[in-house]
């Protein structure tokens, strides 16, 4: 039996779709998010890294990871608990040796802050963490396919951001580029940033970050991050590639916390890091300092210029640095930036100093956002809801397809026709998923709804084709009847596309997934599955005549 070229096209597209979807059997866990400024982040762990081993033990899935981390830190707590229990039962004389007992108990309790070594081997690197608490990362099993899911399914945060004024298309592109650069500096790779427009013509920027909290996203996006270094009222340099050629980061030789001290209100930790100026910025700095006098009244051993280098972030003074006299009028491309963080405890001050340092470094690297932004909508989605929805939708979709096929069988009393509808519907699902994987489209809940609509539309059109094929022969020939059916299908296609296009902009683009997926599905139907289905039905009908 000769197979028509239309059926061959369908089979070839199905093979390519399956290859595009891909199937992975890699073992390990993938890092979904890393808490900024944590030990894991500072040592180089990032989103997308695949953990293979922890302290020499193979990690094959999320359960292995959780068990390994729990065992490492639980054993340390258990040891301390045994030591405390033994001391409490030791029978030390409470009148004569109470101070000894209290001192020993204090020593053991303080030892809870002892650093624990955790060696993490990823697919590409080998990292040792020294910390007194589990790594602040979120992991998940490695995806078994290349199908990408949106926040509605994988979980995370979404922000719809509006600039302070209306922007052109090129300005939106610049804003997206700077925002993506800033988020990448923080190690956030699993993100989607795109420009969207509502039906009124207003331009927005939509940011989706898997695994992030709304607070994280708001902190990273809402602030413009404008950095200026001023001497008096004159700007010496600003953040961004125009003035800053390089920023020392994650290198202890030129960046880090160098001291922590107590003061009346708590604790303070100092940080410093080196930046490298462009030639123009260095000359501008030299021209400004050339006009300054030396502060000869300074009580310090070293002499400094009369005005400091004031550091402003979002128009707020964050620090003032004294300028050494030997920098007067000197063109130097290397500047040391300093700052501090405070807290009620030394650890809190250390964390605050680290956060402030990373924030300054990021703004210096990326520059300020070109426009002030306002978050008009901020959502947080739990991955548990997405998993439950997918499970239910798969069950409902499968049940619907089987039910429709059964109804078709009861109506036409032909098992071949029912199987043709069933296989065609599954083929459309595979093609949609294959195209989505190929173009790296994130499937969110509206996209899943679009797939279901495509299946329903496809079944309706297939029934039209079957009914046309079964009209009485005297009306017209089988070939003519198939042409008539295909004309009806094409007319339905164009009306559907026309009604779906506005959804690309409705709600600031939140329904784009539904529109794009449905258009992909019905287009694949018109070009691939419907012609093949017509040939299949023609063969079935010819054999039954």
173-220 residue pLDDT tens = 777 777 776 666 555 556 778 887 776 777 788 888 765 566 666 766
Q: How far apart are CA 292 and CA 304, in angstroms?
A: 10
Residue 85 has pLDDT above 60, yes or no: no
Superfamily of domain 29-141 in the CATH hierarchy: PDZ domain (2.30.42.10)
Section 325-353 average pLDDT: 86
Higher pLDDT, 290 or 495: 290
pTM: 0.56
Contact 43, 129 (CB under 8 A): yes
Locate the DSSP E strands across 123-190. 126-131, 137-141, 156-163
**Radius of gyration in angstroms for the set of CA atoms belonging to the chain, rounded to a whole number:** 32
Tell me the average pLDDT of the chain. 78
Which CATH fold topology does 156-224+373-380 show?
Alpha-Beta Plaits (3.30.70)
Q: Of all helices (H) and strands (E), which one includes residue 346?
A: helix 346-366
Report which of 411, 516, 473, 433 is spatially closest to residue 196, judged by C-alpha positions. Answer: 516
| 3-state SS assignment for residue 135 | coil
Task: Report how far apart, in Å, the C-alpha atoms of 326 and of each of 68, 286, 332 are.
Answer: 55, 11, 11
Residue 525 has pLDDT above 70, yes or no: yes
What is the per-residue pLDDT for 501?
A: 80
Contact 42, 257 (CB under 8 A): no
Higher pLDDT, 537 or 397: 537
Residue 222: pLDDT band with limits 50, 70, 90: low
Q: Domain spanning 5-23+384-544: which CATH class is it, in words?
A: mainly alpha
Residue 279: pLDDT band with limits 50, 70, 90: very high
Q: Where are the domains of the chain?
A: 5-23+384-544, 29-141, 156-224+373-380, 227-366
Residue 112 has pLDDT above 70, yes or no: no
Residue 26 has pLDDT above 90, yes or no: no
Contact 248, 273 (CB under 8 A): yes
Residue 170 has pLDDT above 80, yes or no: no
Residue 334 has pLDDT above 50, yes or no: yes
- Give pLDDT tens digits for 29-53: 988 778 766 888 888 888 788 999 9
Which two three-digit tokens encode residue 17?
A: 């779709």
Residue 98 has pLDDT above 60, yes or no: no
């Amino acid at each position: 039996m000769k197979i028509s070229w239309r059926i061959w096209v369908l089979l070839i597209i199905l093979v390519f779709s399956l290859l595009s979807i891909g199937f992975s059997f890699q073992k390990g866990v993938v890092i979904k998010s890393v808490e900024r400024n944590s030990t894991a982040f500072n040592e180089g762990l990032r989103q997308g890294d695949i953990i293979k081993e922890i302290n020499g033990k193979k990690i094959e899935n999320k359960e292995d990871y959780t068990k390994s981390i729990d065992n490492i830190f639980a054993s340390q707590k258990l040891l301390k608990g045994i030591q405390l229990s033994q001391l409490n039962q030791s029978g030390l004389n409470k009148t004569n040796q109470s101070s000894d007992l209290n001192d020993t108990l204090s020593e053991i309790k303080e030892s809870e802050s002892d650093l624990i070594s955790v060696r993490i081997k990823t697919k590409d690197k080998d990292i040792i963490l020294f910390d007194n608490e589990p790594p602040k990362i979120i992991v998940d099993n490695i995806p078994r396919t290349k199908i990408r899911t949106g926040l509605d399914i994988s979980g995370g945060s979404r922000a719809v951001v509006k600039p302070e004024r209306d922007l052109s298309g090129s300005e939106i592109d610049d804003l997206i580029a700077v925002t993506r650069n800033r988020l990448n500096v923080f190690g956030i790779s699993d993100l989607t940033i795109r420009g969207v427009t509502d039906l009124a013509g207003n331009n927005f920027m939509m940011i989706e970050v898997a695994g992030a909290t709304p607070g994280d996203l708001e902190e990273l996006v809402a602030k413009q991050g404008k950095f200026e270094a001023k001497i008096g009222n004159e700007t010496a340099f600003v953040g961004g590639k125009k003035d800053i050629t390089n920023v020392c980061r994650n290198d202890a030789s030129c960046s880090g916390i160098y001291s922590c001290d107590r003061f009346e209100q708590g604790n303070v930790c100092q940080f410093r890091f080196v930046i490298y100026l462009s030639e123009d910025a260095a000359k501008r700095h030299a021209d400004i300092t050339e006009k300054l006098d030396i502060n000869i009244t300074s009580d310090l051993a070293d002499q400094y210029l009369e005005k400091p280098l004031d550091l402003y972030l979002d128009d707020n003074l964050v620090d003032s640095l004294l300028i050494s006299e030997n920098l007067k009028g000197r063109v130097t491309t290397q500047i040391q930036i300093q700052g501090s963080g405070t807290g009620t405890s030394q650890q809190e001050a250390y964390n605050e100093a680290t956060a402030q340092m990373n924030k300054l470094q990021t703004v210096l690297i990326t520059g300020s956002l070109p426009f002030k932004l306002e978050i008009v909508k901020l959502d947080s989605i739990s991955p548990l809801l997405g998993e439950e929805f997918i499970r239910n939708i798969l069950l409902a979709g499968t049940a619907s397809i089987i039910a429709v096929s059964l109804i078709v069988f009861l109506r036409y009393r032909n098992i071949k026709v029912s199987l043709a509808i069933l296989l065609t519907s599954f083929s459309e699902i595979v093609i949609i998923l294959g195209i989505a994987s190929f173009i790296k489209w994130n499937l969110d809940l509206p996209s899943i709804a679009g797939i279901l609509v495509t299946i329903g539309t496809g079944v309706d059109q297939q029934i039209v084709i079957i009914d046309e094929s079964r009209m009485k022969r005297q009306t017209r020939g089988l070939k003519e009847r198939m042409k008539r059916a295909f004309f009806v299908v094409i007319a339905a296609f164009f009306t559907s596309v026309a009604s779906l296009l506005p959804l690309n902009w409705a709600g600031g683009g939140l329904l784009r997934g539904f529109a794009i997926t449905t258009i992909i599905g019905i287009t694949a139907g018109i070009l691939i599955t419907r012609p093949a289905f017509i040939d299949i039905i023609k063969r079935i009908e010819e054999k039954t005549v």
